[in-house]
Amino acid sequence: MEVSCLVISHKKANIKDIEKAWHGNCCEIIGRVLSNPNVDECALLFTCNRVEVYVVGKGTVNFLYEFAKEMGVPKRILDVYTGSECLDHILRVASGLESMIVGEDQILGQVKYFYNVCKSCGGIGEILDLVFRKAIHVGTKVRRLTRINKGSVSIASAGIELLEREVGLNGRKVLLIGAGEMGSVVARHLAGKVELYIANRTFERGLNLAKEVGAKAVRFDEIEDYIDLCDIIITATSATHPIITKKMVKPNKVFLDIALPRNVDESVCEVEGVKLYTIDDLKRLSEENLRKRLREVEKAEKIIDEELKHLEESLKALRAKRAIRAMYRRAEAVKREEVMEAFNKLKAKYNVDEHAIAILESFANSLIKKFLSYPTLKLKELAKNGNFNVFPIIESIFGGDGLVPDRKDEKAEAEEIEKACKGS
């Protein structure tokens, strides 16, 4: 089994490329990926600046290139990583090192969100579960032990910084369209600095945010009037099509569109004196932030290098545990049949009662543990040294004929396996 990922990000792709790379919803895409017999697990990550697909299985690199081809994604804008490179990448993503605004906090929340969504869709198994939980842990640790997230570290805060630098905010009237996560961040950055109006499709949500930041809530069907009234219009909605078109705009307006897909039609730039800033314009700030935070990046990379080694060791141990689990499950299934057969013979010949079952099971458990202790030790050593060739064979031999134990005893069985692994 190998872990690989397909990455389409701001490093090679623009906003339109990223928009086109996402087809359908998470569960649909995961179902499509898992329909391939060589793929066992799948997780997705979709943000303003990236589309990523993580898979576990066989021949995953070739699969990801073929999948990208099916999705109409050109090779020039994608990267495919496998093994350690893939693991290192997701740790860097969660830590904010791969973000356009280095160190941004929002990406960690997005990794957590997609981890939960993909798990609920049935895409995440024990390998990606371990990988994503480690990524979330590392992202949290990096922010706790470094100053990587200080300053303008989100798309929203960088957008406000850009407006302050390019057009100024003092005395401005600003219309914010969208009261979701991104819009809320913008509103809090603007609180007390401008005369702020907030519009949202769900008026109640916009009203709550307006009360929080001391702004005025307006109804969504009134936004055209407030576009006329305000100097700056910021869009941050989840609409799948432009909500502001050229015919709605008068001269000398400033737009900041931080939504994906875009909320403002590019044709507004044809109106006299109109300025439109998008996520692409924030790349300059990313470069400046990177220079300022170089020292913090180095600290973060040291943490990631250390945690990557721990993750790789954990994955090796997991691989060994899966093979060991197959051996113990097979032994457990055989044991139950043999214990009952032996008990029935003893009962028929010596008229023993059911107390004998406990004695027989204790004997069988001891025999299994002692018999499998050496194979357990050797499998752990092979995994530690990175010799995985034998593992698919072991799993096939011991799990190939459907002898699976009763699920009601799975917890006890897992504890027994864990005890054997630790003692070997």
Mean per-residue pLDDT, 78-82: 97
For residue 309, give the amino acid letter: K
**Residues 22-44 pLDDT 10s:** 877 899 999 999 999 999 999 99
Phi then psi dihedrals of residue 146, to 5 deg: -130, 175
Q: 2-148 has which CATH code?
A: 3.30.460.30
Q: Is it the case that residue 404 has pLDDT exceeding 80?
A: no
Q: Is it the case that residue 120 has pLDDT exceeding 80?
A: yes
Mean per-residue pLDDT, 181-205: 94
Q: Of 3.40.630.30, 1.10.10.10, 3.40.50.300, 3.40.50.720, which CATH number belongs to 155-290?
A: 3.40.50.720
Closest of 373, 357, 368 to residue 413, by C-alpha? 368
Mean pLDDT of the chain: 88
Determine the pLDDT at residue 153: 60
Q: 138 exposed, middle or buried (CB, 10 Å; 0-12, 13-18, 19+)? A: buried
DSSP result, 147-186: -TT-SS-SHHHHHHHHHHHHT--TT-EEEEE--SHHHHHH
Answer for the pair 130, 122: CB distance below 8 angstroms, yes or no.
Answer: no
Q: 236 exposed, middle or buried (CB, 10 Å; 0-12, 13-18, 19+)? A: buried
Mean per-residue pLDDT, 332-360: 92
Residue in this structure with the two tokens 């100097």, named with its chain if needed: 231
**Tokens representing 223?**
């936004």
Candidate from 88-102, 271-285, 338-352 with smallest mean pLDDT: 271-285
Residue 307 has what DSSP assignment?
Answer: H
The CA angle 339-340-342, to the nearest 5 degrees, is 65
Mean per-residue pLDDT, 218-229: 96
Query: In angstroms, what CA-CA distances link 134 with 5, 131, 146, 185, 309?
Result: 16, 5, 18, 27, 11
**Residues 370-379 pLDDT 10s:** 998 888 888 7
Determine the pLDDT at residue 406: 42
Query: What CA–CA distance (Å, rounded) separates 63 from 32?
Result: 12
For the full predicted model, state whether its pTM sits above 0.75. no
Query: What CA–CA distance (Å, rounded) separates 29 from 6?
Result: 13
Determine the pLDDT at residue 329: 87
Q: Is it the case that residue 212 has pLDDT exceeding 90?
A: yes
Please identify every residue annotated as catalytic: 48
Hey, where are the domains in the chain?
2-148, 155-290, 313-423
Q: Is it the case that residue 73 has pLDDT exceeding 90?
A: yes
| Chain center to CA of 312 | 18
The CB density around residue 359, as the number of other CB atoms within 10 Å, is 13
**Tokens representing 265?**
């039609």
Pairing type for strands 216-219 and 195-200 reads parallel
Query: What CA–CA distance (Å, rounded) separates 6 from 10?
Result: 14
Q: Is it the case that residue 389 has pLDDT exceeding 50?
A: yes
**All residues at 6 or more sequence positions from 270 whose CB lies less than 8 Å from its CB, including other chains:** 246
Residue in this structure with the two tokens 């929080």, named with its chain if needed: 212
Q: Is it the case that residue 205 has pLDDT exceeding 80?
A: yes
**Tokens representing 214?**
């001391």
Pairing type for strands 50-57 and 2-9 reads antiparallel
> Between 205 and 402, where is the model more confident?
205
Query: In angstroms, what CA-CA distances link 39 with 30, 67, 116, 255?
Result: 10, 12, 20, 44
Mean per-residue pLDDT, 213-218: 96
Domain 2-148 shares a fold with domain 155-290: no
Closest of 74, 38, 72 to residue 57, by C-alpha? 38
